Structure 1
Amino acid sequence: MKVKYLKHIIISSVFMGITVLAFLLYEPEFYSLDWQPLPKIDVTKGQSQDFEQGFQKEIVKAQQLVQQGLSKLGAPGISIAIGIKGEKVWAAGYGLADVENNKPITLGSQFRIGSTSKAVTSLALGKLLEQNLLKLDDNIETYLPDLPKALHGITIRQLASHQSGIRNYGSCFCLPMAEYFSNDEFTSVAEALEVFINDELLFKPGNQFSYSSYNYTLLSAVMEQAAKRPFLEIMQTQVFEPLQMNLTAADATGVKIPHQVNFYNVGYGHYQLSYDVNNSNKWAGGGLLSTPSDLVQMANQLVSGKYLQQDTLATLFEQQKLNNGEVNRQNYALGWRHSITKKSLAGKNKVHYIHHGGTAAGSSSLLIMFPEYDLVVSVLINSSIGNFGELWDLTFEVATQFLSVLGNKANDQVIAKQNN
């Protein structure tokens, strides 16, 4: 009996040990079992502010689209801002920032912007270029001589355009096992580099395109050495303060941010708080908080030419080519994607648009600029999204309302000039 009892104890202990280990290794997956019914969101209630009287009809239609979009997306809350010709035209927020406490979204609600952080980082890169503190075709070991030899020869341009061959998030010997859900605190960018810099490159730099947020972690380390100051200080002094982006900051763990929304996973009428993550391993590529109004403020200054020189802007927006001379498959520039519509829009067969989306734990982002029309649209929601195309479709449909009238005004000006 004692042997049988002892055997039972041993088996039970082993089983419990395996269960605990599995929970620690795959905690985000176990966490996803805790779902609650999502209360009905009144999409008609929210905060909306018009800043320009010339687009009332378009704003009313956009408001309807956003409210309908919130219902379709199933997110607790949504926030949007529109900029035209360097001025903010409209901003609004609907739904809940905090489901548990019925706290509404406001115009100042701060969301994780995920990979849209890369677009924001590109502005600081542009400033350092203008200050002659670095050059795009410099090898990164010029600034970081202690990097592993395998990384020598990678250029700043290749980091910013995802042509370095550096891998993206993967599994790790850590808790939890997925790097995307990392909750480790890194005290510096240099420390965060240790996650990936000793891993084999996926290909010879410049030969292929492979999207990786770690490119921007390494890019931020180069920027630190070029500017002789910490990355977040560079962002504060070169971008946030000059552009008055007062509600944009690092998503720092343990720092009280009063306007930060809660982040959620949603599905089938249910919700849960997203898994706690620590973004200190990817400030530059996916670790910022912001608002649509701040992002529109930033993009307005870009399209109006008030922040960066025109040649710098053209460089940031230029689709980057591989070693074989072909443009990369995502039309990726330097921190932005540069695309052209495949069908007629606003009376033109081809319209250029510069954009970057982002997904983060419990949040989704999309920022689009139409330089030919000086139009900017930013949309943020406080939930992860299974089909990012739905957020894309909503944002583009809202933009179309304004593009149509801007296109008509542009055509009217052309006709007037011809008549004169």
Structure 2
Amino acid sequence: MFRRLFHPSACSQGFCMRNLASCVSRCNERGWFHLRKARCFRNYSHGSCYKGQKTFGSDEGTLQPWKNNSKRKWSKAAGFTVVGIGAFASCILAYCEAADNEEKNEEEKCTCHEEDNPLGKIESPNFDVIPKNNITNGIEKPVKNLTLEEAIHESVDLLYQTMEIAGIPGLSVGVTVDGCNVWSTGLGYADIENKLPCTKHTVMRIASISKPLTMMAVARLWEEGKIDLDAPVQKYVPKFPKKMYEAKEVTITTRQLLSHQGGIRHYKKKNGKKNSDVKNTLPKKQDESSEKEETKEVPDEKSSTSEEEKEVANPEHIELKNIKTSASNNEQNHSTVKRETTKKHEREGKKKRGKENEFDSKEYFIKEEFKDIESALKLFQDDDLFFKPGTGYLYTTHGWTLISAVVEGAAEKPFTEVMCKLFHDLGLNNTYLDQHRPIIFNRARYYIRNKHNRLINAPYVDNSYKWAGGGFLSTVGDLTKFGNAVLYSYQRKEDSKDLLLGILKASTVKEMWKPTEGTKMDWDQDGSYGLGWGVVEEKCKHGFCRACRHYVSHTGGAIGASSVLLILPSNDDLTENEVPPKGVVVAILCNMQNAGLNKVGLKIAKLFERVPS
């Protein structure tokens, strides 16, 4: 019983010994622990070797240091943990049994140390296992390569952690390395009610990843000379009103809109109020239905006059009524103050937690279909600018609606036709406009959480008012293909004659991925915003501190959906014999809103970067 009780593997029965097994084994060839005998163990709090005896008393146990130069209380770090009353009694019985059987060996010497070194013999490390080039200029590099199976296993763990934290019902993930699809799968459910699992073919809302796709359409028109990025937007959209800021006329350019520096609002107006007056700019169907809600009952004049006559006839009734009125007024004032205080605390709490939840805006829940871009512009075109164009930064989806109008004017075609032609040229066979009527196979259901944090179906919304900024559907396979097309264009040398042309010139992609001064990357504080992409540059300010890898990405958030598309280019310059793309592309889509996916996407990209090609 004694030896079983204190075996290192039975830590739940008495003392926690897992961290001490290697040291105790030097005292006992079987690796068991004897309480009454002299013993040696490692104190991880102080890094010194002790011998002593565990005692049960008011002192709660003390450790006698090896050279008796001090006295310290035992702790979990030293390897002792008593679990429960039953375990405590078992320890006492075992202690007595050990005392009877081993009285002659109380002062047995510990053999796990040497006189000159209380820490014992330290084995010299094998430096042959550490690569010589794992550190460059104070920047640590991954020491060990991973197999494909190991990278997939760790990625699955990361994704399940993200699903548990954000409460995601289902997601799809796709990873390519050097242009080859190495892993794509689905986790969880695309449709909970019908128990349909997510797969790599599941179609979901990509939300703001629509912006990089729209950016490619702009870039192609730019290369063709049909768009001047620095010209006023009125050149392509004559009906868009000229804007004023601080009583002065200002100019908004397409380049400023592409980097969110045009001053156009997002889902909140400049006065700080959410847009409760959306129905004034919607199609007429909602205006007609809203008129019924605004009608009010007119009080009866006869009943009011009869009450006045009663008050004149009975003065006591007037006095009693005044008392009741004053009491009710006090209650109303108290409740009003209480509501205002509560709202104040809520606003302060939101400020402490960060920016307000943009999904509270009613514009997110628009259900009416907008037939053209011109009608969508009416949502915001007459609103005040937040700042003088080019002097600030405000992430805005409405600004990209104005960009879609610029594309229409430059291409002389409807924006939806331009984008469908682009999807065809890219080979994105499973990328669509987010429309309700068409039958789209493998389309997922979308979910949100209610005020009780229970999972419910997301409400129906129509995203036709923001095609360019967040109105497309796609799969992870199509998104990684799109990412590789951009990466190929970025890495292909323009003087190369043996390689096929990229869909864009390398100089164009470099301009897109160039950080714009005064901008920021909302989903990574180390980055900035370029033209339609978030960009993080390679940098490391201090040796052995935080080092940033160069990568580009864009995240997305829509009603019932979140997304990320991340491109991690290879650090090494391509040789003449190497064919682009070289790097990792990761796409993740899920059917739950407000799920931050950029961080997990970057971790997965770095894991697959360690897989030898």
Once the two structures are TM-superposed, the CA of residue 269 in structure 1 deviates from its matched residue by 6.9
Question: 1:377–1:395: 8 Å Cα contact kept in structure 2?
Answer: yes
Q: After superposition, where does 1:300-339 map in structure 2 within 5 Å?
A: 300-305=484-489, 306-321=502-517, 327-330=518-521, 331-339=528-536
Once the two structures are TM-superposed, the CA of residue 178 in structure 1 deviates from its matched residue by 1.2
| Counterpart position of 1:40 | none
Q: Which amino acid aligns with 1:340?
A: E
Alignment match of 2:557 (pick from 359, 362, 365): 359
Structure 2 residue 425 is matched with structure 1 residue 249 = no
Once the two structures are TM-superposed, the CA of residue 191 in structure 1 deviates from its matched residue by 1.0
Question: 1:115–1:286: 8 Å Cα contact kept in structure 2?
Answer: yes
Aligned-partner SS, 2:460: coil
Q: Which has the higher contact order (CA 8 A, sep 6+)?
A: 1
Structure 1 unaligned regions, length at least 5: 1-53, 322-326, 410-420
Q: Quick one: distance in 1 between partners of 2:412 and 2:179?
A: 32
| Counterpart position of 2:603 | 397
| Counterpart position of 1:372 | 570
Deviations 1:71-111 (A, max 9, x none): 33321101000112122221111111111111111211111
Question: 1:363–1:383: 8 Å Cα contact kept in structure 2?
Answer: yes
Question: 2:536–2:548: 8 Å Cα contact kept in structure 1?
Answer: no
Once the two structures are TM-superposed, the CA of residue 368 in structure 1 deviates from its matched residue by 0.9
TM-score by length of 2: 0.53
Aligned-partner SS, 1:356: strand
Q: After superposition, where does 1:12-411 map in structure 2 within 5 Å?
A: 55-150=148-243, 153-170=251-268, 171-174=275-278, 178-238=362-422, 240-266=423-449, 270-305=454-489, 306-321=502-517, 327-330=518-521, 331-340=528-537, 349-372=547-570, 374-385=583-594, 388=596, 391-405=597-611
Q: Quick one: distance in 2 between partners of 1:141 and 1:69?
A: 44
Q: Which amino acid aligns with 1:82?
A: V
Once the two structures are TM-superposed, the CA of residue 341 in structure 1 deviates from its matched residue by 6.2
Deviations 1:247-297 (A, max 9, x none): 111111323222210000147773101121110110000111111111100
Q: Quick one: distance in 2 between partners of 1:93 and 1:336?
A: 26
Aligned-partner SS, 2:592: coil
| Counterpart position of 1:29 | none
Q: Quick one: distance in 1 between partners of 2:600 and 2:278?
A: 38
Once the two structures are TM-superposed, the CA of residue 135 in structure 1 deviates from its matched residue by 1.9
Aligned-partner SS, 2:413: coil
Q: Quick one: distance in 2 between partners of 1:169 and 1:68?
A: 31
Aligned-partner SS, 1:210: coil
| Counterpart position of 2:34 | none
Q: Which amino acid aligns with 2:474?
A: S
103 and 269 in structure 1: CA distance in 2 versus 1, 3 angstrom threshold: farther
Q: Quick one: distance in 1 between partners of 2:548 and 2:560?
A: 34
Structure 2 unaligned regions, length at least 5: 1-146, 245-249, 269-274, 280-285, 287-360, 490-501, 522-527, 572-582
Worse overlay, 66-75 or 95-104: 66-75
Q: Quick one: distance in 1 between partners of 2:394 and 2:161?
A: 35
Question: 1:263–1:274: 8 Å Cα contact kept in structure 2?
Answer: yes
Aligned-partner SS, 1:115: helix
Deviations 1:31-67 (A, max 9, x none): xxxxxxxxxxxxxxxxxxxxxxx83432233234334
Question: 1:88–1:297: 8 Å Cα contact kept in structure 2?
Answer: no
TM-score by length of 1: 0.77
Once the two structures are TM-superposed, the CA of residue 342 in structure 1 deviates from its matched residue by 6.6
Q: Which amino acid aligns with 2:535?
A: H
Q: Quick one: distance in 1 between partners of 2:546 and 2:215?
A: 29
Deviations 1:312-331 (A, max 9, x none): 1011111123xxxxx32331
Q: Quick one: distance in 2 between partners of 1:250 and 1:338?
A: 26
Q: Quick one: distance in 2 between partners of 1:68 and 1:210?
A: 31
Q: Quick one: distance in 1 between partners of 2:509 and 2:152?
A: 29
Q: Quick one: distance in 2 between partners of 1:95 and 1:60?
A: 16
Q: Quick one: distance in 1 between partners of 2:471 and 2:263?
A: 22
222 and 356 in structure 1: CA distance in 2 versus 1, 3 angstrom threshold: same
Q: Which amino acid aligns with 2:568?
A: F
Q: Quick one: distance in 1 between partners of 2:474 and 2:570?
A: 25
| Counterpart position of 2:42 | none
Question: 1:362–1:384: 8 Å Cα contact kept in structure 2?
Answer: yes
Q: Which amino acid aligns with 2:205?
A: R
Once the two structures are TM-superposed, the CA of residue 403 in structure 1 deviates from its matched residue by 2.4
Worse overlay, 57-66 or 103-112: 57-66
Q: How many residues align?
A: 346
Worse overlay, 156-165 or 69-78: 69-78
72 and 350 in structure 1: CA distance in 2 versus 1, 3 angstrom threshold: closer
Q: Quick one: distance in 2 between partners of 1:204 and 1:357?
A: 27
Q: Quick one: distance in 2 between partners of 1:313 and 1:264?
A: 35
186 and 269 in structure 1: CA distance in 2 versus 1, 3 angstrom threshold: closer
Worse overlay, 264-273 or 349-358: 264-273
**RMSD over aligned Cα atoms:** 2.6
Question: 1:84–1:300: 8 Å Cα contact kept in structure 2?
Answer: no
Question: 2:278–2:379: 8 Å Cα contact kept in structure 1?
Answer: no
Worse overlay, 86-95 or 309-318: 86-95
Q: Which amino acid aligns with 2:512?
A: L
> Which has more radius of gyration?
2
Question: 2:568–2:605: 8 Å Cα contact kept in structure 1?
Answer: no
Once the two structures are TM-superposed, the CA of residue 185 in structure 1 deviates from its matched residue by 1.0
Aligned-partner SS, 2:416: helix
Aligned-partner SS, 2:153: helix
358 and 130 in structure 1: CA distance in 2 versus 1, 3 angstrom threshold: same
Once the two structures are TM-superposed, the CA of residue 123 in structure 1 deviates from its matched residue by 1.1
174 and 351 in structure 1: CA distance in 2 versus 1, 3 angstrom threshold: closer
Q: Quick one: distance in 1 between partners of 2:546 and 2:267?
A: 40
User: How many percent identity over aligned positions?
Assistant: 35
Worse overlay, 106-115 or 219-228: 106-115
